Amino acid sequence: MFDVKDTDFFDMEEEAFDTIVENDIAFTGKIKMKKAFMIRGKVNGTIDSTSDLVIDSDAVVNADITAERVLIRGKVKGNVIGNKLIFITASGSLDGDITTAKVVLEPGCIFTGKCSMVRSENEK
């Protein structure tokens, strides 16, 4: 249908993630990481990453998020900053504001908030 650059993390295998918060885990606090991260469980707090973040389809996240690229398949409540890309799939929902260079909202997703498009340092 259309090609979106920077979406290669859709094809990442589970082994590519150093850390996965599984669906039987509920975490409250601040998460800070440098490598690709996947959430399948429940997270409350803040998430700060210098890499990619995938919020899987059964995940429930109540957190402000900062990451390079963010893929939302589950439910997120909080503001999301994606330095390169924020992608919300048809199964995903976001209740919060978006700040990013590129955003993709698939038909069927739920997004409630404001979206601010910013240029990356390379594009200025």
- Mind listing the pLDDT tens digit for each residue in 77-122? 999 999 999 999 999 999 999 999 999 999 999 999 999 998 765 5
Task: Please report whether residue 116 resides in a domain.
Answer: no
Number of domains in the chain: 1
Task: Please report whether residue 89 resides in a domain.
Answer: yes
Task: Please report whether residue 73 resides in a domain.
Answer: yes
pTM (predicted TM-score)? 0.86
Q: Which domain holds residue 71?
A: 8-107
- Mind listing the pLDDT tens digit for each residue in 10-60? 556 666 677 778 888 889 999 999 988 999 999 999 999 999 999 999 999
Task: Please report whether residue 118 resides in a domain.
Answer: no
Task: Please report whether residue 27 resides in a domain.
Answer: yes
Instruction: Output the six-digit token pair for 124.
Output: 């200025």
Task: Please report whether residue 30 resides in a domain.
Answer: yes
Task: Please report whether residue 85 resides in a domain.
Answer: yes
- Residue 54 makes CB contacts below 8 A (sequence gap 6+) with 9, 12, 17, 36, 37, 38, 39, 70, 71, 73
Task: Please report whether residue 95 resides in a domain.
Answer: yes
